[in-house]
């Protein structure tokens, strides 16, 4: 019997639903939230003390906590956050904790502040594992033993043995650079009256030190960023940490520089591209409270906040806040949850707020501050619809005569035009004119997209690449493969014929992120190009002062999807793209090509009437019981074998409990029925708003165990319907 010795319940970053019990040896000072090292089988694992208690006489011999780290403990709010998030998304709490502990090295003590690099000598014994470690060690960066082992896919013992042999040499890691303390009053403009009123409203909310969500609503360029900076300044002045969440692609060096100018201190940045040592620096800085401002992508929510007092979610409508793999969570929604657990405000900023957020404003749950355009411009430029049924382009072309005329006129006047088409590559489909064979990805049930600049076919679902075949793979006919439909590259070809004088730039994510894209954007901004052809990449807040015409080549694309938010997304995207026109001195206009000019969305767009559009969309959603008026969860079954996956999905469907206010749709083959060689079946659970959807799912799934290579993914509040 263990008597009354202390017991630590330790949550481990593994797929476990709850903490494991360990004995706290006398002399170890443990507190809830402490980071500890505990034995698990033959390994030592880092976990977090979830709670402390005294031993009930179970008679079971518990193992001892091995060591405790001297980091400040993970706050109670953060631990609650992990538990709530896990319960909400039906995820093992340990998987959520793993997202918190995602900075390997950060918990290493002073003795581990060494890294290893290749010494240039050959070890006494060589194995394939050792060779892999040495290969990585020769690449130049000194890495910690753990990082080196992970990169090489071997155990740490291999690294240690190489070090003993003298094949690796130790170097001291440089100390982590300290964070400068921000000055809430450092930069900033003299705000306009509108901005001042909005900033005052947000500051007042921050001063209340309570949970409150505020929507900051205003077109791009209306000065929202400067306004939420004021809210951040107030939270900083009150001694708190602040988190500014951005969609990853908006997290650019110029934006970070802007934050630095405003607060006189470089903010901590958190995104997927950070080097291990920098991750460690930010993680520790957040845990210790020295990193006061973090500008981060969605996963920054999980950093071990010490005194978080404000979260700002910029571009709150962005679907990039939803993570689909791993733990599927929505960072905007979880930011609101965190604020309610931590009793602090959350600011949601957007030029095109999501319907969810607008409905929360309607219901009085969220507050709102609105900003008018600082230059007195209307919300949207003048928008004209082009009915493609009447003004059809020539066969094999996509620009209608009225749009061609408009572009010509714009270029002749010395202004810039933008043609928007949300499709990368040359053509979305290639088929054989002789036998009708379509080129498809071998791993996915999806057409391969031709990328002519790269001379390759690409699968947009798994990244598979292959060269264009010289003959049809099916009937062997030569020279019969034809592209079907346009991508931006093909549109550029058409534009070059129509506007031979134009200086054309094609902007899509194929330019990758790095300098290519930022150079191209700068060249457009400075007017070196006068005709821009781009995907949604150009819709995101870039400021092109010479742009006066936006042509939307295919406005119907997103409307055709099975996504219940398809129309809402179309609205946001078209409003954003149209809004690129006329941001400089001259007014702008947009022309939208559509086969559905009578569609209420197109009509509302033409009138620039957002309220009318959302009123319509709310009615549709309410009628259909879709979010935010009802709740959804998607269950996706996948497996390497088609019939197996289908059988399991059907059994799953049959075992769905009957419940008032819940309906289960499907299973049906997913719209993309195979991805990366896995056959996919979907079920959709639709529930009324008052239903406890999680309880229903738990009841249903408690005994469901996909066998072998079958997998079941549960996606609460899904955004992906493919």
According to CB under 6 A, which one of 77, 95, 129, 220 is a site residue for ligand ADP?
A: 220
**Residue 223 touches ligand ADP, criterion: CB under 6 A:** yes
Task: Please say which residue, 257 or 391, places its beta carbon nearer to ligand ADP.
Answer: 257
**Cα–Cα distance measured from residue 544 to residue 547, given in angstroms and rounded to the nearest whole number:** 6
Q: What is the DSSP string of 403-471?
A: HHHHHHHHHHTT-EEEEE----SSBSEEEETTT-PBPB-SSSSSBPEEETTTTEEE-TTT--EEPPPSB
Task: Please say which residue, 220 or 535, places its beta carbon nearer to ligand ADP.
Answer: 220
- Angle, helix 566-578 to helix 610-624, in steps of 10 degrees: 170
Task: Please say which residue, 35 or 228, places its beta carbon nearer to ligand ADP.
Answer: 228
**Cα–Cα distance measured from residue 144 to residue 421, given in angstroms and rounded to the nearest whole number:** 46
Task: Please say which residue, 195 or 594, places its beta carbon nearer to ligand ADP.
Answer: 195
Q: How far is CA 571 from CA 354, 424, 559, 609, in A?
A: 10, 20, 10, 11
User: What pairing do the DSSP bridges indicate for beta strands 630-639 and 114-118?
Assistant: unpaired
Asked if the bond preceding 36 is cis, omega within 30° of 0, the reply is no
- Contacting range for Zn ion; rule: CB under 5 A; set: 301-309, 452-460, 516-524, 652-660: 452-460
Among ligand ADP, Zn ion, none, what does residue 416 contact (CB within 5–8 Å per kind)?
A: none
The secondary structure of residue 253, as a DSSP letter, is: H
SS3 track for 85-137: HHHHHCCCHHHHHHHHCCCHHHHCCHHHCEEEEECCCCCCCCCHHHHHHHHHH
Site for ligand ADP in 175-204 (CB under 6 A): 189, 191-192, 195
The answer to whether the beta carbons of residues 369 and 194 sit under 8 Å apart is no
The answer to whether the beta carbons of residues 403 and 385 sit under 8 Å apart is no
Among Zn ion, ligand ADP, none, what does residue 221 contact (CB within 5–8 Å per kind)?
A: ligand ADP
In 553-677, where do the E strands start and end? 589-594, 630-639, 662-675
According to CB under 6 A, which one of 226, 230, 318, 356 is a site residue for ligand ADP?
A: 226
According to CB under 6 A, which one of 218, 487, 551, 667 is a site residue for ligand ADP?
A: 218
**Residue 670 touches Zn ion, criterion: CB under 5 A:** no
- Contacting range for Zn ion; rule: CB under 5 A; set: 364-372, 462-470, 480-488, 642-650: 462-470
**Cα–Cα distance measured from residue 657 to residue 664, given in angstroms and rounded to the nearest whole number:** 9
**Cα–Cα distance measured from residue 673 to residue 710, given in angstroms and rounded to the nearest whole number:** 15
Q: What is the DSSP string of 302-317?
A: GS--SSEEEEEEETTT
**Residue 461 touches Zn ion, criterion: CB under 5 A:** yes
Among ligand ADP, Zn ion, none, what does residue 506 contact (CB within 5–8 Å per kind)?
A: none
**Residue 279 touches ligand ADP, criterion: CB under 6 A:** no
For residue 683, the surrounding DSSP H or E stretch is strand 678-688
**Residue 222 touches ligand ADP, criterion: CB under 6 A:** yes
Q: Least distance (Å) from Zn ion to the CB of residue 474?
A: 19
Q: Least distance (Å) from Zn ion to the CB of residue 438?
A: 14
**Residue 599 touches Zn ion, criterion: CB under 5 A:** no
Q: Least distance (Å) from ligand ADP to the CB of residue 314?
A: 8
Q: Least distance (Å) from ligand ADP to the CB of residue 327?
A: 30
Contact code string over 163-202 relative to Zn ion, x by CB under 5 A: ----------------------------------------
SS3 label, residue 193:
helix
According to CB under 6 A, which one of 95, 225, 350, 410 is a site residue for ligand ADP?
A: 225
According to CB under 6 A, which one of 144, 212, 224, 423 is a site residue for ligand ADP?
A: 224
The answer to whether the beta carbons of residues 523 and 563 sit under 8 Å apart is no
**Residue 32 touches ligand ADP, criterion: CB under 6 A:** no
Among ligand ADP, Zn ion, none, what does residue 530 contact (CB within 5–8 Å per kind)?
A: none
Q: Which residues bind ligand ADP (CB under 6 A)?
A: 189, 191-192, 195, 218, 220-226
Q: Which residues bind Zn ion (CB under 5 A)?
A: 441, 443-444, 459, 461-462, 464
């Amino acid at each position: 019997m263990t008597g009354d010795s202390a017991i630590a319940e330790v949550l481990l970053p593994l797929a476990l639903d709850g903490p494991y019990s360990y004995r706290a040896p006398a002399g170890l000072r443990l507190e809830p939230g402490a980071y500890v090292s505990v034995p698990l089988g033959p390994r030592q694992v880092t976990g977090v003390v979830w709670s402390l208690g005294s031993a009930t006489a179970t008679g079971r011999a518990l193992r001892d906590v091995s060591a405790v780290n001297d980091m400040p403990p993970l706050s109670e709010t953060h631990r609650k956050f992990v538990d709530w998030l896990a319960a909400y998304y039906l995820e093992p709490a340990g998987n959520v904790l793993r997202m918190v502990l995602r900075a390997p090295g950060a918990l290493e003590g002073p003795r581990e502040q060494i890294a290893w690099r290749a010494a240039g000598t050959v070890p006494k014994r060589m194995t394939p594992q050792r060779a892999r470690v040495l290969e990585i060690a020769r690449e130049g960066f000194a890495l910690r033993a753990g990082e080196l082992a992970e990169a090489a896919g071997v155990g740490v013992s291999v690294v240690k043995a190489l070090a003993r042999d003298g094949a690796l040499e130790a170097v001291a890691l440089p100390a982590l650079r300290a964070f400068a303390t921000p000055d809430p009053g450092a930069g900033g403009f003299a705000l306009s009256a509108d901005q001042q009123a909005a900033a005052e409203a947000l500051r007042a909310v921050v001063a209340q030190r309570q949970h409150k969500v505020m929507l900051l609503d205003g077109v791009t360029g209306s000065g929202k960023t400067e306004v939420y900076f004021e809210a951040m300044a107030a939270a900083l002045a009150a001694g708190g940490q602040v988190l500014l969440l951005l969609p990853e692609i908006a997290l650019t060096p110029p934006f970070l520089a802007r934050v630095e100018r405003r607060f006189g201190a470089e903010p901590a940045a958190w995104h997927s591209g950070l080097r291990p040592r920098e991750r460690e620096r930010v993680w520790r800085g957040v845990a210790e409270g020295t990193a006061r401002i973090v500008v981060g992508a969605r996963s920054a929510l999980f950093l071990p906040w010490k005194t978080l007092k404000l979260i700002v979610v910029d571009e709150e409508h962005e679907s990039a806040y939803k993570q689909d793999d791993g733990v599927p969570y929505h960072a905007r929604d979880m930011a609101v949850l965190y604020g309610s657990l931590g009793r602090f405000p959350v600011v949601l900023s957007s030029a095109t707020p999501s319907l969810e957020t607008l409905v929360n404003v309607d219901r009085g749950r969220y507050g709102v501050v609105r900003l008018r355009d600082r230059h007195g411009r209307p919300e949207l430029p003048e928008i004209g619809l082009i009915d493609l049924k009447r003004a059809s382009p020539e066969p094999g072309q996509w620009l209608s005569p009225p749009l061609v005329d408009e572009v010509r006129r714009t270029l002749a006047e010395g202004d810039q035009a933008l043609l928007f088409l949300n499709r990368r590559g040359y053509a979305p489909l290639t088929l054989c004119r002789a036998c009708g064979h379509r080129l498809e990805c071998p791993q996915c049930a999806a057409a391969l997209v031709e990328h002519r600049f790269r001379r390759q076919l690409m699968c947009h679902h798994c990244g598979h690449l292959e060269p264009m075949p010289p003959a049809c793979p099916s009937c062997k006919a030569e020279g019969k493969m034809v592209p079907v439909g346009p991508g931006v590259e093909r549109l550029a070809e058409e534009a070059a014929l129509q506007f031979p004088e134009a200086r054309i730039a094609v902007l899509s994510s194929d330019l990758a992120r790095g300098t290519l894209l930022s150079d191209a954007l700068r060249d457009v901004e400075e007017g070196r190009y006068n005709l821009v052809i781009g995907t949604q990449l150009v819709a995101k807040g870039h400021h092109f002062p010479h742009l006066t015409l936006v042509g939307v080549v295919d406005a119907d694309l997103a409307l055709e999807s099975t996504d219940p938010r398809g129309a809402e997304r179309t609205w946001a995207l078209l409003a954003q793209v149209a809004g690129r026109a006329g941001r400089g001195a001259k007014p702008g206009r947009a022309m939208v090509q559509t086969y559905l000019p009578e569609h209420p969305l197109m009509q509302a767009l033409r009138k620039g009437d957002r309220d009318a559009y959302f009123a319509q969309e709310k009615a549709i959603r309410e009628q259909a019981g879709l979010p935010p008026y009802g709740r959804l969860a998607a269950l996706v079954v996948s497996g390497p074998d088609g019939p197996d996956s289908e059988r399991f999905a059907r059994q799953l469907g049959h075992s769905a409990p009957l419940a008032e206010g819940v309906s289960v749709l499907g299973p049906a083959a997913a719209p993309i029925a195979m991805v990366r060689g896995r056959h996919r079946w979907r079920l959709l659970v639709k529930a009324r708003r008052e239903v406890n959807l999680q309880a229903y799912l738990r009841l249903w799934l408690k005994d469901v165990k996909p066998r072998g290579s079958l997998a079941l993914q549960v996606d609460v509040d899904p955004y992906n319907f493919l």
